Amino acid sequence: MSVARAYAKALYETVLESDQGAHAHTNNIKNLIHDQAVGFQSVIDQHKEFRIAILGPVTSQKEKISLVREVAKKFNCSQVFLNFLNLLIKKGRLYLLPEILEAFESVCLEAHGGIYGTLVSAIPVEQSLIDELVVSFKKKLGKQVEFKTTIDPSLLAGIKVTVNGVTYDGTLYSKLKRLRDKFVFGTAWH
């Protein structure tokens, strides 16, 4: 388990145990934390001085906690999320926040019985195709699947989907590579 995933799981469990999460549905927990985190992360991304102050080695831990508290107030961050940010500061892991938030979404989906998959394509994919893939993989795996999409022009055309550690490669690049291997090496195993 990665460090980011361990923190994400701890955050999820802490929110569940708190008053906020006691009666909340998993998606509500995800949305609650996601909204707070996106607001906070946007300040980090957009304000260089703030980013340097809270991520750099010059500012003391106490000053970082104070700065984070001030920004968190502006976004109405919950005490649970503020405590989590303070923990990251104390452990010197605040720089992991974007990775932790990505892992947090995955933890929430898994808690709800779903999984994440990746969909890589040469060009942007229409939502209707993504929806078809979600339905198809839900039937196949018996779980809700959400896809994170990325664009990789080197694939030339087609899509590559990875779910549960299995890759389904329907890209032109992979087909051309198999064809080349068949002609050059007498095999199409790659």
**69-86: average pLDDT:** 88
pLDDT in tens, 155-182: 778 788 887 767 877 777 777 777 777 7
Q: In what order do the strands lie in the sheet with 159-163?
A: 144-151, 114-121, 159-163, 166-169
Q: Which helix (H) or strand (E) holds 52?
A: helix 48-55
Arithmetic mean of pLDDT, 113-131 = 84
For tokens 């995955």, the residue is 106
CA quadruple 173, 178, 180, 182: dihedral, nearest 10: -170
pLDDT higher than 80, residue 39? yes
* Cβ 158 vs Cβ 122: under 8 Å: yes
Residue closest to 12 by CA, chosen among 132, 85, 87, 101: 101
Instruction: Please say if the pLDDT value at position 81 is more than 60.
Output: yes
pTM of the model: 0.67
Work out the average pLDDT over 5-33.
74
What does the domain layout of the chain look like in residue ranges?
Answer: 3-108, 114-185
Q: What is the pLDDT confidence band of residue 89, given thresholds at 50, 70 and 90?
A: very high
Name the one residue in this structure whose structure tokens are 């906070």: 40
CATH topology of domain 3-108: Peroxidase; domain 1 (1.10.520)
User: Which DSSP state fits 1?
Assistant: -
Segment 25-46 shows an average pLDDT of: 79
With cut-offs at 50, 70 and 90, classify the pLDDT of residue 144.
Answer: confident
Is the CATH number of domain 114-185 3.40.30? yes
